[in-house]
Amino acid sequence: MLTAGQISKELKGELIGNSDQIIDSVSKIDMGQKNSISFLSNPKYEHHLKSTEASVILVSKTQILPELNFKTFIKVDDPYTSFCIILGKYFNPQTHPQGISTQASIGENTNTDETMYIGEYSSFGKNVKLGKNIKIYPNVFIGNNCQIGENTILYAGVKVYENCKIGNNCIIHCGTVIGSDGFGFARQNDGVYIKIPQIGNVEIEDNVEIGANATIDKATMGSTIIRQGVKLDNMVHIAHNVEIGKNTVIAAQTGISGSVKIDEGCVVGGQVGFVGHIYIAKGTQIGAQSGISKSITEENTKWIGSPAIHLKDAFKSQVIFKKLPEMDKKLNELEKKFREK
């Protein structure tokens, strides 16, 4: 039986209320239920502290609490992270299958052992190195000479081309393609395009998660590199010879052209487009649907728009843009007066 006191002790939090309060479920704060644990991290939901039916609520150490004797609060440094820890440890129902299907195709010199799960119709090439406790779901393809690290999960339909490397504790969701050819063609004088052979690979470091139907192209030469801790959303496209710095997060439908280098700790919104051969500095934040046409060399800056500009400049421009109809009207009136003279 899980209690508020146990949770508070585990999170090293400050408990205010009933330490014996039973917790048997989790809930959103605006949809709280009796005996559930919830959290408050966004101030816009603060009004739910009084109305929620949740019995235990994780809040920040600076949160001012309402006077509610029937509620139990646990003050922590980061309510969202703390809630994720509790959710993962006590309320995550996901379990993976076990065993190696007899309908899987295992190539020559590819290792397997009892710690792995390999699903039906998955296919492995030659000389594939597989780490312990990996989970390979049905219809996955892994080409010759690939490496897959320990505790990594490849969901159904993932395709990994030859010579690619995936680290430990990675998660790659359905339909993603790792190591497809980069978009490399040489235009001839007669207008015909000749394919440039793509002979590199993709290297993905530890603790990376990649969403469904993403595509990461192999390098023309060398490696396309995804550093440790990177999180890519669904349908992200990474072109050849790109390097994504550690702990960078990129939202859905973003496209990154060839040879772009994005430094560590960046945050990229959805549907952002990058031209090729540019550098994005450490800690850069880019708003959704922005177009990045040149390098960003100043660290920890915010950008938005197409072409992208500093966020503070974008706000100033929006003020002017809203005034354009009024300015246009005044200009027409001045022109009319000028003509009358």
Q: Which residues pair with 286 in a beta bridge?
A: 268, 303
Q: Which residues contact 81 (CB under 8 A, 6 or more apart)?
A: none
Region class of 235: left (phi > 0), else alpha (psi between -120 and 50), else beta: left
Of 276, 240, 270, 231, residue with least CA distance to 254 = 270
Tokens of 207: 């603790």
Whether 231 and 252 have beta carbons less than 8 Å apart is answered as no
d(CA 136, CA 104): 10
Positive or negative, the Cα torsion across 65, 68, 71, 72?
positive
Annotated active-site residue in 48, 173, 237, 240: 240
Two tokens, residue 141: 């393809």
The token pair at 193 is 């395009």
Closest Cα to residue 276, out of 292, 253, 252?
Answer: 292
Please, which residues have CB within 8 angstroms of residue 149's CB and are 6 or more apart in sequence?
Answer: 131, 134, 166, 167, 168, 169, 170, 206
| Whether residue 240 lies in the annotated active site | yes
Q: Any idea what the Cα angle at residue 28 is, between residues 19 and 229, rounded to 5°?
A: 95
CB atoms within 10 A of CB 260: 21
Torsion of CA 126, 127, 131, 135, to 10 degrees: -10
Strands 72-76 and 14-16: antiparallel
For residue 81, the 8-state DSSP code is H
> Which residues have C-beta within 8 Å of that of residue 12, sequence separation ≥ 6?
76
Active site residues: 240
